[in-house]
Structure 1
């Protein structure tokens, strides 16, 4: 048995054909989904990257592990917490990863026989680099039972797809640098601009058309899709495609100007928390299965452990893969086999990076409570009717106070049950260190001789560029 777990960083579900997108971003991903199971309503309980992946490898949400912030120096994950690669290695699997999350936290390298750090001189990691590291390793271990984690970053900013991929997603004859187009002004004059200046804007050029950025994102997805096709063709060539459990997921999505978020992944809105998830295992997972109920990323760990326990394999001690106690995730196998439809009646959501918030997503409604809005303007509470308002544009918190109160009480009760008397790690983070990303932007502003409060009163691109340029010249 081979297990390949693939993280598709920053991949938004609604930009894939399998989730209803009309543009040709994902023909191979759609093919994989058609050969296995696609989870229509998969959610990232914790965003962004650090907390999402910690949940994937522990089967536990942030409130259970205590890891609720991205990039915080306060968080640690004890080695006593069961970790998926470690469990599989102890059971006899050869384990490997092509990943760079070790740069963020040491625990992401735990449990691997081989950890191939894909980090380079550029934050942007080409999927071709991932394949160049992964494919020889797969060939060398094709006769072994292995677990391989692959982390693709192509859909993450900066959006720098090969030029040949762009025309399919950008209207012919349209000029991305048209001086008469002012659709980029809101992004250029957002309080977060100094943080994004280099990777979002300088590397792409003086774009005036925001639609061009959306096209670049789509082009990156198509480029990623082609890299996944290369990987899949390699499995077929080696004759191991049929025995490989392939699991693909987005760690979080991406906002493309929605809710005042410009090509980034914060906010507990659908573009960022609704993620793709699909699995293929020929002969074990029925082809063409679609699960419409709620599932979460933390469900993948118990699902993988059960998959191994279902197989009788020489050299693998499946008894060591009993489900660890205290996991929040639930096995997806009942949904895969058709005896259930999802693993949760609702999902709870959390973030603590650019802003700090928690939320609850029910079948029809979403409630969000903001603790710290960071560089954004957010009301304390938000309530959306996703049936009537899928874009989450009409806040009903004031007009439907009884419903908002009920959902807030449900959220509070759930948080209290998970903490079970422990201190809330989000409250500790905000009290002792503040928002991790706000601290970063404050450092950037300080280098330009500006304060956070001063900048937020007048966040003009020209003002920051002028201040930064003056200091550089001096």
Structure 2
């Protein structure tokens, strides 16, 4: 038995053709979905990258593990917390990864026989890098029972797809740098601009048309899709495609100007928390199944363990493959086999990086409570009727206070139950260190001789760029 778990970092569900997008960003992923199962309402309970992947590999949400912040110095995952690759290795699987999350936290390398660190000289990693490491590894281990984790970053900023992919999504007749186009001004004059200037805007160039950034995102997805097609063709060439369970998932999505978020992944809104989730296992998973109910990332661990039990590989010791105690995830197999639709009636949501907020997503409603809005302007409570307002533009918290109160009470009770009297790690983070990404902006501003207070009152690109030019040292 072979399992390939594929993280498609920053991939927004609604930007895939199989999730209803009108452009051809994902022909091969769509084909995988037709050959297996697609979960229409899959959600990232914890965002962004660090907390999302911790949930995938533990089967537990952030309030269970204590890992709720991305990029925090306070975060630690005890070695006593059971970890998916370690569980599979103990049962007899050869475990491998092409990944660089080890650069964030040490626990992401736990449990692997082979950890191929994909970090390189550039801060971005494209699918070519991943495939060049993954394909030879698969060939070397094709006769073994293996678990392989692949982490593709193509849809993450900075959007730098191969140039040949851009014309399909942005006409060569258009000028992305036309000074008469002012659509980039809200992004360039946003409070978060100092961070994105270095990590995104300067790498792409002086773009004036915001639609160009959206097109670059689409082009990155299409390039990623071709990399996945190459991977799939390799499995077929080796004769192991039929034996391989492939799982594609997004760790979080991406906001493309919605809610004052410019090409980044914060906010508990649908563009960021609604993720793609697709599985294919020839002969075991029904073809063309679309699951309509709510599921979440932490469901993946129990699902993969159940998959091994279903297959019963001869070389695997099933007695050593136990479900960890205290799982928040539930196996997706009943949904896959049409016994149920989904695994949850509601999903609790959390973030603590750019902003600190928690929320609840039901089939119809979204409730968000913000504790610290960071560089954004947010109402303390937000309530959206997703059936009538899928774009989450009309906050109903003041119009429907009883319903908002009911969701807030439900959220409070869930948090209290998870904490069981222990300190809240989100509140501890805010009290001791503050928001991790606000601290990053403050460090950049300080290097430019500015303070957060003066910048946030008047965030104008020209002011910051002038401050940077006046300094003799490089501001990053």
Band of TM-score, shorter chain = over 0.9
1:86-105 to structure 2, matched below 5 A, reads: 86-105=86-105
Question: Which residue pairs with 2:133 in the alignment?
Answer: 133
Question: Which residue pairs with 2:21 in the alignment?
Answer: 21
Post-superposition offset of 1:172? 4.9
Question: Which residue pairs with 1:67 in the alignment?
Answer: 67
Question: Which residue pairs with 1:216 in the alignment?
Answer: 216
Post-superposition offset of 1:314? 2.0
Query: Residue 303 of structure 1 contacts residue 332 of structure 1 at CA under 8 Å; is this kept in 2?
Result: yes
Question: Which residue pairs with 1:152 in the alignment?
Answer: 152
- 1:315 has 2:315 as partner: yes
Question: Which residue pairs with 1:408 in the alignment?
Answer: 408
Question: Which residue pairs with 1:239 in the alignment?
Answer: 239
Post-superposition offset of 1:199? 2.3
- 1:451 has 2:451 as partner: yes
Query: Residue 25 of structure 1 contacts residue 225 of structure 1 at CA under 8 Å; is this kept in 2?
Result: yes
Question: Which residue pairs with 2:421 in the alignment?
Answer: 421
Partners of 2:305 and 2:473 lie apart in 1 by: 58
Partners of 1:253 and 1:123 lie apart in 2 by: 20
SS at match of 1:21: coil
SS at match of 2:39: strand
Range 54-63 or range 395-404, more displaced: 395-404
Partners of 2:289 and 2:311 lie apart in 1 by: 21
Partners of 1:60 and 1:319 lie apart in 2 by: 22
1:170-319 to structure 2, matched below 5 A, reads: 170-319=170-319
Partners of 2:448 and 2:172 lie apart in 1 by: 40
Partners of 2:472 and 2:320 lie apart in 1 by: 58
Post-superposition offset of 1:426? 0.5
Post-superposition offset of 1:327? 0.5
Question: Which residue pairs with 2:433 in the alignment?
Answer: 433
Partners of 1:109 and 1:422 lie apart in 2 by: 28
Post-superposition offset of 1:472? 2.4
Question: Which residue pairs with 1:76 in the alignment?
Answer: 76
1:36-75 to structure 2, matched below 5 A, reads: 36-75=36-75
Query: Residue 309 of structure 1 contacts residue 319 of structure 1 at CA under 8 Å; is this kept in 2?
Result: no
Query: Residue 350 of structure 1 contacts residue 357 of structure 1 at CA under 8 Å; is this kept in 2?
Result: yes
SS at match of 2:247: strand
Post-superposition offset of 1:121? 1.3
Partners of 1:26 and 1:261 lie apart in 2 by: 24
Query: Residue 256 of structure 1 contacts residue 264 of structure 1 at CA under 8 Å; is this kept in 2?
Result: yes
Partners of 2:308 and 2:150 lie apart in 1 by: 19
Partners of 1:473 and 1:249 lie apart in 2 by: 41
Partners of 1:118 and 1:423 lie apart in 2 by: 36
SS at match of 1:3: strand
Once the two structures are superposed, what CA deviation does each residue of 1:260-292 show, in whole Å capped at 9, x if it has no partner?
A: 000000000000000000100000001100000
Partners of 1:17 and 1:312 lie apart in 2 by: 35
Once the two structures are superposed, what CA deviation does each residue of 1:62-91 show, in whole Å capped at 9, x if it has no partner?
A: 000000000001111011101000000000
Partners of 1:132 and 1:121 lie apart in 2 by: 16
Partners of 1:199 and 1:161 lie apart in 2 by: 15
Post-superposition offset of 1:173? 2.1
SS at match of 2:242: coil
SS at match of 2:5: strand
SS at match of 2:387: coil
Partners of 2:472 and 2:356 lie apart in 1 by: 33
Ranges of 4+ aligned residues in structure 1 off by more than 2 Å: none
Q: CA RMSD in A?
A: 0.9
SS at match of 1:390: coil
Partners of 2:436 and 2:137 lie apart in 1 by: 36
Once the two structures are superposed, what CA deviation does each residue of 1:285-336 show, in whole Å capped at 9, x if it has no partner?
A: 0110000000000000000000001122222001111211100000000000
Question: Which residue pairs with 2:385 in the alignment?
Answer: 385
Partners of 2:122 and 2:68 lie apart in 1 by: 27
Once the two structures are superposed, what CA deviation does each residue of 1:332-377 show, in whole Å capped at 9, x if it has no partner?
A: 0000011011000011100000000000011111110000000001
SS at match of 2:199: helix
Q: TM-score, normalised by structure 1?
A: 0.99
Question: Which residue pairs with 1:344 in the alignment?
Answer: 344
Partners of 1:314 and 1:364 lie apart in 2 by: 45
Question: Which residue pairs with 1:362 in the alignment?
Answer: 362
Please list every run of 5 or more consecutive structure 1 residues that lacks an aligned counterpart in the other structure. none
Post-superposition offset of 1:473? 7.4
SS at match of 2:471: helix
Partners of 1:154 and 1:126 lie apart in 2 by: 5
Partners of 2:149 and 2:470 lie apart in 1 by: 46
Partners of 1:163 and 1:50 lie apart in 2 by: 30
Partners of 1:162 and 1:379 lie apart in 2 by: 40
Partners of 2:76 and 2:245 lie apart in 1 by: 31
